[in-house]
Amino acid sequence: MTFIKVTINMSPGEKTRCYLNLPSLGILFILLILFNCTPSAFSQIVKGTVFDKNTKDPVGYAYLYFSGTFSGTQTDQNGNFTLDASVNRSIPLTISAIGYYSVTLNEYLTGKPLSVYLIPKVYELNEVKISAKSLARKRKSNLLLFKEYFLGTTDNARECEILNESDITFNYDSDRDTLKAYALNPILIDNRALGYKITYYLDKFEYIRDKESFSFRGNISFQKDLNKEQSREEHFERKRKNAYLGSRMHFFRALWYDDLRSTGFRVGGVTSDNLSYKDIVIVDADKKFLKYNETLSISYYTKNLTGLEFLKEKVFFSNDGYYDSDGILWEGYMANRRVGDWLPYEYIVKEY
C-alpha cells in the first residue's frame, strides 16, 4: 500500500490537505484527478465585454470592481475584461465608467462570457457659467452642504479632501427646495485620517431643505495611500479601529457570528427591547438574511442609538460586513457615519 499526502490550494488563504491510502497502480489515476482539481478549477473567473447601451459600441477602460473593496480591474480598449471573483463571492460585481451610470450584477458567475450595457449619464442642468459673485457664493454654499451630507461631520470626515470639486455640478434653478448634485467623472477623495484614496461613482445625490432629509447612491472603491509615511500606519490603524467599532460593518459581522452581546450591540423592536440572533436572522441554504416585522433599534454599549427600517422583506448580509444597502433605511448614529468613516470590506482589526 502507498500513502500520498496532497495539499490543494482552493483559494487564497484556504487549503485542503488529504491523505490517500492507495494501491500503487491507482496512483497515476488519482493524480490525474487531483491535477484537474487545481486552483484553476476552483477559481471563479469572470469574462465579458462592456458596451454602450445606446450605440452598442464597446466601452474601453471601464472599471469592474466589488464596491467597498480594494478589488477591481479595467476593460481594455475594446471593452473586454477578465476578473477573478473567488475572493469576493458574496459581493455583487459593479461596472462603472466615466459618463455612465454604474451597473451592479448580483448573478454573474454563470460560466459564460458576460455582456454588460451601460447607460450614458444625461443631465438637463440649469447651472450656468459662474461669473457673478452671487452664483459663486451659491456654489460655495452648495458645495459645503454636499460635503457635509456626503462625507459626514466627524473628525475623520473633516480630514477628507475632494480632489476634483470642479467635476461636481448642482441644479440651481430647477428646484429651489431640493439640492441635487451630479458628477460625470468619479469623485476622488483623499481620506487623510484613515490613509485611503477613495474613488466614488456618484449616481444620485438629493437634499430636501425643508425636511432636512438627504439621500445619495453610488459605488465606492478603495486604495491604500502608499504615499503616506510607513511610520503613520499605527496612527491610521487606531483611527480605523475607532471608525469600525459600532459601525454597520461591525454590526453585521457580529450578527453573522451570533456575537452581538459580547461585542456590545443590543437590538430591540417596537414590542421587544432585547432581540436575539434567532429572532432577526433567517438562514436559507448557506446564506443569511436579516428579517423582522418591525423597525429595529440598535445600540452599541447602551449609547449611539441607531434606527433600522426595512425596505425589503429580508436583507442579505455576509460575514465580511457586506449587506444589501437597498433593503435598509438608517437613522441615527450609524446613518451619520458616511463616506469619511467607511472602511473597505477587507478591513481587519489590528492590535498594537
CATH number of 73's domain: 2.60.40.1120
Q: What is the pTM of this model?
A: 0.82
- The band of 148, judged by pLDDT with boundaries at 50, 70 and 90, is very high
30 and 51 part of one domain: no
- The band of 350, judged by pLDDT with boundaries at 50, 70 and 90, is confident
Give dist(CA 214, CA 338) in Å, integer. Answer: 12
- The band of 7, judged by pLDDT with boundaries at 50, 70 and 90, is very low
139 and 208 part of one domain: yes
22 pLDDT more than 90: no
218 and 297 part of one domain: no
65 and 19 part of one domain: no
Of the candidates 190, 209, 224, which is a domain's last residue? 224
Of the candidates 118, 147, 165, which is a domain's last residue? 118
Is residue 292 in a domain?
yes
Tally of structural domains, the chain: 4
Give dist(CA 114, CA 79) in Å, integer. Answer: 11
- The band of 271, judged by pLDDT with boundaries at 50, 70 and 90, is confident
Confidence at residue 227, expressed as pLDDT on a 0 to 100 scale:
67
Is residue 243 in a domain?
no
Confidence at residue 77, expressed as pLDDT on a 0 to 100 scale:
95
216 and 138 part of one domain: yes
Is residue 302 in a domain?
yes
Is residue 235 in a domain?
no
Is residue 259 in a domain?
yes
- The band of 107, judged by pLDDT with boundaries at 50, 70 and 90, is confident
Give dist(CA 89, CA 82) in Å, integer. Answer: 15
- The band of 16, judged by pLDDT with boundaries at 50, 70 and 90, is very low
Lowest mean pLDDT among 46-55, 99-108, 228-237: 228-237
253 and 331 part of one domain: yes
- Average pLDDT of span 290-299: 96
- The band of 60, judged by pLDDT with boundaries at 50, 70 and 90, is very high
Confidence at residue 19, expressed as pLDDT on a 0 to 100 scale:
42
87 and 23 part of one domain: no
- Average pLDDT of span 41-55: 84
HEC letters along the chain = CEEEEEEEEEECCEEEEEEEEECHHHHHHHHHHHHCCCHHHHCCEEEEEEEECCCCCECCCCEEECCCECCEEECCCCCEEEEECCCCCCCCEEEECCCECCEEECCCCCCCCEEEEECECCCCCCCCCCCCHHHHHHHHHHHHHHHHHHHCCCHHHHCEEECCHHHEEECCCCCCCEEEEEECCCEEEEECCCCEEEEEEEEEEEEECCCCEEEEEEEEEEEECCCCCHHHHHHHHHHHHHHHCCCHHHHHHHHHCCCCCCCCEEEECCCCCCECHHHHEEEECCEEEECCCCCEEEEECCEEEEEEEECCCCEEECCCCCECHHHEEEEECHHHCCHHHCCCCCCCCCCC
Is residue 350 in a domain?
no
Q: What's the mean pLDDT when you consider all of the chain? A: 85
Burial of 51 (0-12, 13-18, 19+ CB in 10 A): middle
Confidence at residue 272, expressed as pLDDT on a 0 to 100 scale:
86
137 and 219 part of one domain: yes
29 and 58 part of one domain: no
Is residue 24 in a domain?
yes
Is residue 108 in a domain?
yes
Range of the domain at 308: 248-336
114 and 139 part of one domain: no
152 and 186 part of one domain: yes
162 and 110 part of one domain: no
